[in-house]
Chain A
C-alpha cells in the first residue's frame, strides 16, 4: 500500500541547469497536484493535473516551469535554467477518483531542490 512517491528526495543543481522532479500518485489516484514550500512558509499551489491534461496552472511561474502527467509513468515537474530563488521543497499530492473524497489530498515526502 505505497503512498505518494517522489524522487529524487534531494537534488542539487547549479544555476542555469535543468531540474526534473518526479511524482507517482497513490494507487487508484489519477489527480496530481504540485506545491512549493519555501523555508518557514506554508505550501503554495503550483499546478493540478489529470492524466494527459493540465487542469489548473494558476500557481505556476510563467517562465521556466512546466508540468506533465503522461498516460504512462509519473508526473514530472520541470524547471529550466534554475536560479537560486528556485531552492525550495517541492511536494506532490494526489487525491482519490471516487466522489465524496476528491477534496482530500495525500502528500509525498517532497523533493528538496538546492540551487548553487
Chain B
C-alpha cells in the first residue's frame, strides 16, 4: 500500500465547474499538507499549505484536511481553462526539515 493515494484521473470538467481533488494517506504522523500544481513539462508550483486539520481558503482554492479520516481535499471554484494541469498532494512530518511524500497526481482538464 502506498503511503499517499491519489486518483490519477484524468478529470474533465466544463469551465465554471467546482472541482474536487482528493488524497488519502496511511501515516498518522503527517502534520503538514500541501497542494502543488504542475503544468506539462514544468516544475511543481506550491498552491496551498496547511498545518494539521481544518480548512484554508485562498481565492478560488480551498484546502481541507481531515486527520481523523486521513483524507485531504482541494476545491477549485469557478474553474478556468488555465487551471488545466496536474495537481499533486504532498505531506510531511512535524519537526522542521523533512522530505515530502507525494501522491501520483490528478490530471485535470477544464474545457471552455
Contact = CB atoms under 8 A, between A and B. Distances in A.
Interface of A: 4, 6, 31, 33, 35, 40-45, 48, 55-56, 58-59, 91, 93, 95, 102-110, 112
Interface residues of B, number: 26
A56 B105 contact: no
Contacts of A107: 36, 43-46
B102 A43 contact: yes
Contacts, number: 63
Main secondary structure of the interface of A (DSSP, over half): strand
A55 B96 CA distance: 12
Contacts of B101: 45
B99 A109 contact: no
B4 to A, nearest CB: 8
Given A56-B99, A103-B98, A43 B8 contact: no
Contacts of B41: 112
Nearest to A107: B43
A43 B44 contact: yes
Interface in B56-112: 88, 90, 92, 96-105
Contact of B46 (A6, A104, A110): A104
